[in-house]
Structure 1
Amino acid sequence: MIHAMETAAYHMPPLTEDLLGSIIFAMEDQVSSYYIDLKDGSLISEEEMRYLAEDEQAEGPCAEERFTSIPDWEPSDGFRLMEMFANRVRNPLYRERLLSCLNSGKGVFRKFKDTLSELPVLERKWFSFKDEQLKRVVITWYREQEGLLGLIHLSEETEDLTEDILLEDFTFETHEGYPTSEIDSFLQTILEEMESGDEQNAIASLLLSRRFENEMPEHYQIARSHDGTLAAMLAYIPVTDYLVEVPFFAVKIDFRGLGLFRLLFDAFSRQMARFHYRTIVVNLIGSSVSLERLFTPYSNQTAAKHLILSTSNWNSNHPSSEEAFL
């Protein structure tokens, strides 16, 4: 009976942010084991636990009821987490490189980290993703230990990798006037990439090239990476005192899949509002047509569309108008 009363006195401590962070840090320590001391709510090492357990045994039985081990976290768990992250990377270039690192055998952890370090914004997303996933593990473990007792309000869902990360890794600027050699090189690289793609992109490249021969934009919103590389660009043309047109935008292949265009367009739209432009016409060309869904929540309207039709499909599937005279 006395033992039951002593056992009931122990409860999981409140899972504060400090305790949560300490548990996560300890989980990744592959050398030592750690425990929660339910008597005072502290995180202790196995050596400290054994010392305290000896004192507890002198006072009464079942000293093990006072201590609970933190969640296990093995290298295999870390590997699965890296694999999960790699499969979620939208940039095909870096997704394949990361997966290749994980399938390379010896030294996969170092290769994975070295690849991430090449693109700081992706590296920061990895740390954010890893932190949120480990929080989920700890919170799930905590709830299994003692239901919801003492649990402060912490979300179990993985947080979105927010634009705050991008804001720290990219700078935005405007360029007025004829394109510099850097901008011209960026344009040519994107046009050549489109030209070598599928028919949709090849035709879009041709239409853009012809347009730029007649009217080269002289206004640009630019995004640069931390090392000054031109990472993304948006060209625009003022049409009236309230209307501005965006004939072209692109993100360099190394920086795609990070949400950079959304951030670039946000910076552009807010600047246009400061210049008293009320309406923006965005031309979606080639594969960027899929970005129409990005603008749908903001009550966009369709002003025009370019459709690609096959003469063979039309002629084969539509009744010939000549038959009307037969």
Structure 2
Amino acid sequence: MEQDENFYFIAGYTEGGFPYGTTWKEYEAEQRGESRKMAADGGEPMRELKLTKQQLQEIVDAYDMYVEGIESFLNIETGEVVTLRTFDRDEEDEELSDIIEEGFNEIYFRLPKRESDEGYADMMDFAATIEDKKLHSMLMNILSGGKKIFRRFKDALSSDSKELERYYQFVEEQNRKRVSDWLESIPELILE
């Protein structure tokens, strides 16, 4: 059996002299039971999805944005996020709706939306990281109840632009984690 630093098994060589076969990465994945060819439960072919940074950002942005009458879907074959109007549909929306319905939970997966309890949990977790005792106390007081908690929390943070920017980065990272968990929960999908 022939091997090199790139290939666990060299099946042959192209006319140009380049090897082909099973790479070390493919071999190691197979050894860990991560077959890239078949789903564990149904034997259906799995789809590999390689997301660019821009595509991942689009998914995170769609996750974080709630607009009534707009639903977002991920096409797991292309990594594209498509949006569908649920009110006042035109002909293009109707066509897209039919395409999504035909491939729903096979090709098109509805993107989850960030829930308000997740936003509240993010504010609580972030407030716990504030070292300035006065600002920490103010934020905890806001989080203890009342109206417009989200707005008041951001208004209080705006007194310190560095903390406000750190908060936005914190929320972005939390959203990325939630989106990554959601992507990993799609059984038909292997993320690269």
TM-score, normalising length: structure 1: 0.39
Residue deviations 1:223-275 (CA, integer Å, cap 9, x gap): xxxxxxxxxxxxxxxxxxxxxxxxxxxxxxxxxxxxxxxxxxxxxxxxxxxxx
Relative to structure 1, the CA distance from residue 55 to residue 27 in structure 2 (aligned partners, 3 Å threshold; closer, same or farther) is: closer
**Alignment match, 2:20:** none
Match of 1:126 in 2: 167
**What is the number of equivalent residue pairs in this alignment?**
141
Structure 2 residue aligned with 1:25: 61
Q: Report the Cα distance in structure 2 between the residues aligned to 1:88 and 1:148, rounded to whole angstroms.
A: 35
Q: How much is the aligned-residue C-alpha RMSD, in angstroms? A: 2.7
Q: Secondary structure at the match of 1:149?
A: strand
Letter of the 1:51 partner, please give it.
E
Pick 1 or 2: higher relative contact order, CA cutoff 8 A, min separation 6.
2
TM-score, scaled to structure 2: 0.63
Q: Which sections of structure 2, spanning at least 5 residues, go unmatched?
A: 1-42, 86-91
1:52 pairs with 2:96 = yes
List 4+ stretches of structure 1 deviating above 3 A: 7-10, 47-50
Compared CA separation, residues 147 and 107, structure 1 to 2 (3 A): same
Find the aligned partners of 1:18 and 1:41 in 2 and give their Cα distance: 10
Find the structure with the greater CA-based Rg: 1
Is the CA contact 1:23–1:43 (under 8 Å) kept in the aligned structure 2?
Answer: yes
> CA–CA distance in 2 between the matches of 1:84 and 1:56?
37
State the distance in 1 between where 2:76 and 2:189 align: 16
CA drift of 1:86 comes to 0.6
Change (3 A) 1:45 1:20: same
CA displacement 1:99-156 (0-9 Å, x = unmatched) = 11122311111111111110011111111111111111111111121487233xxxxx
* SS state at 2:74 partner: strand
Change (3 A) 1:67 1:56: closer
- 3-state SS of 1:112 partner: helix
| One of 76, 79, 84 as aligned partner of 2:120 | 79
Counting helix residues as a fraction of each chain, which structure ranks higher?
Answer: 1
Query: Partner of 1:200 in structure 2?
Result: none
* Aligned-residue offset at 1:46: 2.8
Query: 1:65-102: CA deviations, max 9, x gaps?
Result: 22101233112211111111112212221111111112
Residue in structure 1 matching 2:151, options 72, 96, 110 = 110
Query: Post-superposition shift, 1:56?
Result: 7.1
